[in-house]
A and B are shown apart, each in its own frame.
Chain A
Amino acid sequence: MSSALPTRTSKTPAEGGDGRARTGAPPPGSARPGSVARRRARAGWFFASPALLVVAAVTVFPVLFSLVLSFCEVRLDYGGLRLGSPTLGHYEALLTHPEWYRALAFTLGFTVVSVFAELVLGTLVALVLERLGAARGWILALLLLPWALINVIAAQLWSYLFNGTYGAVGWLCEQLFGTQPDILGEPVPAMAAMVVVDVWKTTPFVAIVVLAGLMLIPGDVYEAAEIDGAGPWTTFWKVTLPQLRPIVAIAVLFRILQAFGIFDLPFVLTQGGPGTATQSVAILGYRILFQNLDFGGGAAVAVTTAVIVMGCCLLFLRVFRAHVDEEGRA
């Protein structure tokens, strides 16, 4: 079974940009191919330069600026920011403070639980959708409603449902169990509520991605499995899931990136409370930067978070690729 993962195409130094062999002398009959290639490249850079400048302005500059801020003494003076001497103090303050570890633990836990739940539910929903006929379009549109809602609005709607005074969830619990839980006022229910909202909102995204993967699986693979006597359960585990792995990897990567940066849900639902139970690293960074006005410290939170997320994603990809390669050899 071949992997659908994009394979890296490596070029040797002797190959040109088009992958053809480059030799020391121009091919007979061609006039100065080097200058043509240079002209093409120049034109390419020229046409790409507006986009590159925009990317540099909105991505490269802020990233570089954050890095510089995180490694410098930063003072605010009349007229704006003033950068002082280089320091590792912001990182030292951060990495020796228990609150950062608590925020990291909550963010990691939230990411793992919510992404896993969304993956399982999203796959199940996609399997159902694949088997639907004409109704699929309507159901897809309905499913996408939560995903289409702006995060803050969705969080605000859920905050009404979870509200301890007039919330429908509390009322329902009272009708069913005779007691009204304080959902957002206690650490564990507050964390669970956050996972529920995230799963409600993001499962449709995973379902759509997985559905796209399912539709790409060729029918003859299933026919072959049927001929080999595989039942539905075996077919799912041995045929469907392995074929879905590349697209699932993409969905998981997207979700890890989004879930790790969770800000709007705790900001609207709990303000990071009760205590600091639902304070994510993004909320912590926001507080340090925008409330304490500690620009160096806030930048250090952003940089450490980015490094951790990149590490998680690289690790995931490495494990995933090794797994696929192993299967491919098998």
Chain B
Amino acid sequence: MSLRRRTLLTGALGAAAAGLLTGCGGKDLDDLLTRAAAVPRGPARLTWWVSEIPSRRGGIVADLIIKAFERRHPRISVSKINALSTSDGNRSAIATQLAGGSPQPDVYLGDTTWPAQFGDSSLALPVERLLPDGFWDAYPAALRTGSTHGGQVYAVPFFTDSAYLFYRKDLLAKHGLRLPRSWEELLHTSRTVQRAGDVEAGFLWQAAVTESLTANVTEFLADAGAAVLDGRGRAALGGAAAERAFSLMAEFTGSGVTPGTVATYEESDSQDAFTGGRGLFLRNWSYAWVNASAPGVSHVAGRIGAVPRPGFEGTGRSGVSCAGGWSNFVNPSSQALGAAMEFARFCAGEEVQRLLAREAGVVPAMTSVLTGPEARAAGDPTVLRAADLRLVARPVTPYYPQVSKALYTPANAVVRGDLSPADGVREAREGLRTALEGKAL
């Protein structure tokens, strides 16, 4: 019997080893790109990993896009795989599937912060060679910067999310106050309206220990003129400008303009508070407009406006917006690379971009569509003003999750008052260095 046990154990180990080896086959990149360059003439099937795209008119936006594609390419059928809408949850699910060498999904919708990490991990096909000349002229420069790592582009634009300052028009009018042009003025305006008892919170934003806070920190730093990384990708955080940004975050909570609970807020929490009538100002992504304007959902529908974020006094600049949003990536293990690439290009093209402007509560990536007839008809200020925004890309590095954590962990402590702004900046800088060396957990 002991011999049999040994045989069984050997068999199990053999099976395990075989299983390991099957996941280890490398593929030639040139061969993949050649396959991706040819659109199939015969029938092909595609799967598209896509999270819910906010809808403006109740239609299922992904289905409308698939129908439009299938009309243009009758021999290619596309089926949808519903993905999570949170960036982190979505990444976890798709990354494990792709790392296992799964040929599905052929195309997947991913956050604009993913390209460097996914490109570096060979989870996305480099697509620069597969895009027509002058392709990027039609899209914001920050989108190309965020999609590029090591000279290669790993994502094809789809739609963007931009940060805006949402405000209560009725309350500003009641108190005869103008829209704040600087953060300092926003603090003053908020206190005035709060003191009158018209609103609980002056300014709502996101400071939970998630990517949401990293986007906010990146914007405040850019507003103050501070950089996270230098041109060579090294940690550059520091100096008076960075401390000014961190001090502002501390002042929001310290002065009571922002409630302390903001340290647990993600986008949906702050949006709920604002649409519930608890806040005067809200920093959120463009998609919040649709929800905040819907009478059945929002208590403040019809009484709100959206403008670009303010800047710091004395800098002479308006505020910036993080270049957020979602792009399409092509799975290198796809069995239908040509069709997959064609679908990604189609989603970036004018037909789908116009469809997004008409049907979806997001900002189309194509700049010319932002002022087109569909966008004007929708009348969404977050779309119509998107071309005027100054966009800032978040750090582009294959260690992005660690870099993000290095920013949001000390920033959260500063917001809670557990760390001084100067110490927060110092801790963030140290964390960034460790992260960029690949030593952070």
Contacts and interface: CB of A to CB of B under 8 A. Distances in A.
Interface of A: 41, 45, 56, 60-61, 64-65, 68, 76-83, 93-94, 97, 99-100, 163-166, 182, 184-186, 270-276, 284, 286-288, 290-293, 295, 297
Interface stretch (B72-80, B133-141, B178-186, B260-268): B260-268
Contacts of B121: 76, 293
A98 to B, nearest CB: 9
A290 B402 contact: no
Contacts of B294: none
B92 A291 contact: yes
Chain B binding surface SS class: helix
B377 interface: no
Interface in B21-43: 23-29, 32
Contact of B27 (A78, A182, A272, A286): A78
Contact of A76 (B12, B91, B123, B269): B123
24 contacts: A64-B13, A64-B16, A68-B16, A76-B123, A77-B26, A77-B27, A78-B332, A80-B100, A81-B99, A93-B441, A100-B441, A163-B269, A165-B272, A166-B276, A185-B260, A185-B263, A185-B264, A273-B209, A273-B412, A274-B416, A275-B412, A290-B95, A291-B92, A292-B401
B101 A273 contact: no
Contacts of B263: 182, 185, 273-274
A233 to B, nearest CB: 45
B16 A274 contact: no
Nearest to A17: B1
B209 A286 contact: no
B409 A182 contact: no
A83 B24 contact: yes
* 5 tightest Cβ-Cβ pairs between the two chains A and B: A164-B261, A80-B101, A273-B209, A290-B92, A76-B121
Given A65-B16, A79-B332, A182-B261, 20 more contacts: A56-B15, A60-B12, A76-B99, A78-B28, A78-B333, A79-B25, A80-B23, A80-B101, A97-B439, A163-B269, A166-B272, A166-B276, A182-B263, A271-B209, A273-B263, A274-B209, A275-B413, A288-B441, A291-B88, A293-B117
A3 B334 CA distance: 61
A321 B92 CA distance: 42
B401 A76 contact: no
Contacts of A99: 441
B413 to A, nearest CB: 5
